[in-house]
Amino acid sequence: MCSVMEVCHLRTGRWEQKPTTGNPPLGVKSYAAAAIGREIFYFGGHCNHDGCFHNSLYSFNVDTFNWKELSPTTSHHGPMMKHLCDMIAIKVNGEDYLVVIGGYGPSSYNTSQQPGAQYYEAEGLASGHRQCNEIHFYKLSTGQWISPTVTGDRPPPIDKFTLTSINDSSAILFGGSIADGDSNNVYILNFTDTSVNCSMLSNPGGSVQWPRKRG
């Protein structure tokens, strides 16, 4: 991440560099992003040196090209400091929320755990880090992080998956890296303002061409 945005003009295919204002999350990579209206939101990520992970949340306005920090990196609230998670936007009862799921980060200063979530401690060269299956909501109108009630087939600790909205209050999660390797599992997630229900789809086998494992 840098202080300049690359803009593609779709009608002409021309690329342009435009400066931004405000407080961008400089140097961060492997973050999660989602859009609501004229705002793009960026969560977490990893700086280009060991041990530097984030759980900060920023917004970027595509009209003003201004950055704003909504929630700073801290161990006191919100999701663990991590990267390789994913994020979507949902709307429930007229309220906008961001949903952050999964990810991978250091164990040393991610000591607090979300109730009900699971954590997998990596081994070998990746020791000192862990995957999670945390699910957090961020309510835009109040700036509040929420730990929802999770029911159904909760995915295991996971990173490097895809998370795609189906409509305003549901999404599909596919693939990713889990404790025993890459996955090709598919989950349907249905959200309320305080909960999420997870349903894993079964591979019917036979002539059905199920996607290969990937993460």
Residue 138 sits in which domain range? 4-201
Task: Give the span between the Cα atoms of 88 and 59, in whole angstroms.
Answer: 14
How much is the average pLDDT of 54-69? 96
Residue 183's pLDDT band (boundaries 50, 70, 90)? very high
Residue 214 domain-assigned (yes or no): no
Is 161 in contact with 183 (CB distance < 8 Å)?
yes
Q: What angle do CA 4, 85, 205 make, to 5 degrees?
A: 130
Residue-level pLDDT at 157 = 97
Residue 159 domain-assigned (yes or no): yes
Strands (E), the chain: 4-9, 14-19, 32-36, 39-46, 53-61, 66-71, 86-92, 95-101, 104-106, 119-121, 129-132, 135-139, 144-146, 149-152, 162-167, 170-174, 177-178, 181-182, 186-191, 195-201
Residue 189 domain-assigned (yes or no): yes
- Higher-pLDDT residue of 58 and 128 is 58
Residue 215 domain-assigned (yes or no): no
Residue-level pLDDT at 96 = 98
Q: Which amino acid is at 6?
A: E
The least confident of 10-19, 34-43, 64-73, 200-209 is 200-209
Residue 167 domain-assigned (yes or no): yes
Residue 207 domain-assigned (yes or no): no
Can you give the pTM of this predicted structure?
Answer: 0.94
* List of residues 6+ apart from 22 with CB closer than 8 A: 66, 67, 68
Is the pLDDT score of 170 beyond 90?
A: yes
How much is the average pLDDT of 74-94? 94
In the predicted model, what is the mean pLDDT of the chain? 93
How much is the average pLDDT of 85-113? 93
Residue 211 domain-assigned (yes or no): no
Residue-level pLDDT at 50 = 67
Is the pLDDT score of 125 beyond 60?
A: no
For 124, the 3-state DSSP assignment is helix
Highest mean pLDDT among 23-32, 110-119, 130-139: 130-139
Residue 213 domain-assigned (yes or no): no
Number of domains, the chain:
1
Which CATH number does the domain housing residue 67 bear? 2.120.10.80
